[in-house]
């Protein structure tokens, strides 16, 4: 179970990041459910990309053998930023195609 903890943190923080971005960027918001779903996808992708660069929390946790504060913060940051970015991109695309 502990090996999935970084992924779970990334997905949850992605959902939060998507909703925060939706509150800030009201014209791009997809609604609570849409923001959450886009954020979850973005959280997973953001965490994966940071992991590929060696900056993700999951890879640091595996190397250390356990979750520490830096790996948790890395997972939260990667997931939150990824979630916000993906939500904004999908919202912009939705707006562009509905005009």
Per-residue confidence (pLDDT) for residue 70, from 0 to 100: 81
Per-residue confidence (pLDDT) for residue 62, from 0 to 100: 55
**Total structural domains within the chain:** 1
Q: Residue 3: inside a domain, yes or no?
A: no
Assess whether pLDDT exceeds 70 at residue 65: no
Q: Residue 17: inside a domain, yes or no?
A: no
Per-residue confidence (pLDDT) for residue 69, from 0 to 100: 85
Per-residue confidence (pLDDT) for residue 33, from 0 to 100: 97
Q: Residue 79: inside a domain, yes or no?
A: yes
Rounded distance between C-alpha atoms, residue 77 and residue 56, angstroms: 9
Predicted confidence (pLDDT) per residue in 12-56, tens digit:
999 999 999 999 999 999 999 999 999 999 999 988 887 788 765
Q: Which domain holds residue 93?
A: 32-99
Q: Residue 90: inside a domain, yes or no?
A: yes
Of the candidates 85, 13, 82, the one whose C-alpha atom is nearest the C-alpha of residue 52 is 82
Q: Are 64 and 4 in contact (CB under 8 A)?
A: no
> pTM for this one?
0.83
Q: Residue 26: inside a domain, yes or no?
A: no
Q: Residue 92: inside a domain, yes or no?
A: yes
Q: Please give the share of the chain, as a percent, with pLDDT higher than 70.
A: 86
Q: Residue 27: inside a domain, yes or no?
A: no
Q: Residue 60: inside a domain, yes or no?
A: yes
Tokens of 90: 């999908």
């Amino acid at each position: 179970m502990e090996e999935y903890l970084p992924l779970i943190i990334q997905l949850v923080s992605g959902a939060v990041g998507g909703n925060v971005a939706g509150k800030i960027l009201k014209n791009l918001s997809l609604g609570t459910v849409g923001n959450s779903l886009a954020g979850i996808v973005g959280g997973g992708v953001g965490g994966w990309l940071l992991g590929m660069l060696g900056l993700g929390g999951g890879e640091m946790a595996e190397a250390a053998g356990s979750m520490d504060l830096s790996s948790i913060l890395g997972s939260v940051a990667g997931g939150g930023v990824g979630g916000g970015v993906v939500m904004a991109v999908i919202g912009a695309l939705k707006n562009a195609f509905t005009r």
